[in-house]
Amino acid sequence: MYSDKINDPAFARYLQNSNRWSAMFSFILAAIAITSFYVAGEMGVSDLANPEALYIGLTIGCMFLAIALYQIRSRMSSKTWDGQVVDKRIEQKRRKREAGNNDYYWQEYLLYTVFVRSDSGKLHTLTAEDDDTVYNYYAIGDRVRHHGGLNSYEKLDKSGDAIIFCNACASLNDINEDYCHRCHCPLLK
């Protein structure tokens, strides 16, 4: 059964704090970028002079602010929906990694993917590299609820589980605990 603990005020506080920290962090990064480029322009570092250096700093600062705004808006616009795990896949992958001095190497990894189809028909994926925890947590056929704002999934039937993920911070917890050991939000069980 889906837990009604999702209505606990701790989740609203967690979302509010997450949005606040995103905004504060982006403002700090923006201020550092603007100040650093302005100072570099005043000191003539790398043939960079003001106002060009200041404009570059302002552009980078605005990008940090835009990214934070996008994160906050996507959290706020995320909707709650129900669905079902329809497939799971493990793929052997590899990617090119730079080793320095114009040299590279191939890094191999396993990509674990869980496919969830919403009741409206849209396919969603949960992926992890070299970590099968989420992959093993879900079984094909499991009913799940995606919680808007938190962007997390809750299994309908948790009766056979030994672990549970926190729907706020995604930390792994023992199923016997009532509150997340990391963020202290209630566990949805």
Domain range annotation of the chain:
4-77, 81-147
Listed residue (174, 129, 131, 124) closest to 152, CA to CA: 124
pLDDT of residue 46: 75
pLDDT of residue 76: 86
Cα–Cα distance measured from residue 40 to residue 158, given in angstroms and rounded to the nearest whole number: 56
pLDDT of residue 54: 92
pLDDT of residue 155: 97
pLDDT of residue 132: 97
| List of the chain residues with pLDDT < 50 | none
pTM: 0.80
User: In a 10 Å sphere around its CB, with 0-12 CB exposed, 13-18 middle and 19+ buried, how is residue 58 labelled?
Assistant: middle
Looking up tokens 């990008």, which residue turns up?
63
pLDDT of residue 86: 98
